[in-house]
Amino acid sequence: MISKAINSLKKGNMVLLYDSDRREGETDIVMPAHATTPKHVALMRRDAGGLICIAIHPIAAKRLKLPFMSDLLKHANGFELGDLIEKPGDISYDLSSSFSLWVNHRKTFTGITDIDRALTINEISKAVQSSLNGETVDFGREFRSPGHVPLLRAASNLLGDRKGQTELSIALADMSHITPAMVLCEMLDDKTGKALSKNDAKLYSKNHDLIFLEGKEIVEAYKTF
């Protein structure tokens, strides 16, 4: 299934990724940021309903000077945020979240439309690839924050540090030899108000001819990558 997922991602297609029963227990729609169109954004907000984010490779995040949001808040001069700032133990399934900045590309209008979000997503992918190519990227000249596209900074050692959707999707990008900037959106269930069940996510994948992967498959495959 990994090889099929890799081939699908190389073509710019979506796959479904379930993390694990012991983590969030959620399935995300995942696809390459460079291939994301307004129609993809519309599909994710309509069929998935979660937060449309971009996972970024840790080396690119460092070169682009993208902080973890929790670190940024700790240094918010003049604001007494106290217990509001995330700390170990706040998240039951992990030590910390991957959130970085929320941005819009400077060519967008409001930033929230399908067209605007797709533009921001595409341009972030270009910035990631340029940074990995050793080029200097003036991120502030290209983007502004706050915005409508959340950035997720993958852990430094990827799956060696953390096995969240962020790291799993970047590991998939590495194995697919595509730009390691991946769009993620959690699949939610409007009937139960919870995450879409694994069985229903599998049914969706079957009905829409999409590959369904479990995190443990990626973890095993990445060991020999």
- Measured CA to CA, the distance from residue 193 to residue 73 in angstroms comes to 30
**Angle, alpha carbons 219-223-225 (nearest 5°):** 110
Residues serving a catalytic function are 28, 53, 93, 104, 148, 186
Sheet of strand 27-32: strand arrangement: 99-105, 143-153, 53-56, 181-186, 27-32, 15-18, 211-214
List CB contacts of 207: < 8 A, sequence separation 6 or more.
Answer: none
Average pLDDT of the chain to the nearest whole number: 93
Rounded mean pLDDT of 17-25?
92
Encoded amino acid at 5, one letter: A
CA neighbor of 6 nearest in space, from 137, 198, 173: 173
* pLDDT score for 85: 67
Q: Return the higher-pLDDT residue of 225 and 35.
A: 35
Instruction: With cut-offs at 50, 70 and 90, classify the pLDDT of residue 97.
Output: confident
Instruction: With cut-offs at 50, 70 and 90, classify the pLDDT of residue 80.
Output: low
* pLDDT score for 76: 72
Q: Domain segments of the chain: what residues?
A: 2-222
Per residue in 179-188, pLDDT (tens digit) is 999 999 999 9
Q: What percent of the chain has pLDDT over 70?
A: 93
Does the pLDDT value for residue 94 go beyond 70?
no
Phi, then psi, of 129 in degrees rounded to 5? -65, -40
Tokens matching residue 26: 């959620």
Does the pLDDT value for residue 88 go beyond 90?
no
Which class is domain 2-222? alpha beta
* pLDDT score for 125: 98
Per residue in 155-177, pLDDT (tens digit) is 999 998 899 999 999 999 999 99
* pLDDT score for 30: 98
Is residue 182 within 8 Å of residue 170, measured between CB atoms?
A: yes
* pLDDT score for 225: 85
Does the pLDDT value for residue 129 go beyond 80?
yes
The whole-model pTM stands at 0.92
Does the pLDDT value for residue 75 go beyond 90?
no
Does the pLDDT value for residue 26 go beyond 80?
yes
Encoded amino acid at 33, one letter: A
Does the pLDDT value for residue 93 go beyond 70?
no
Is residue 20 within 8 Å of residue 36, measured between CB atoms?
A: no
* pLDDT score for 150: 98
Q: Return the higher-pLDDT residue of 4 and 75.
A: 4
The SS3 call for residue 30 is: strand
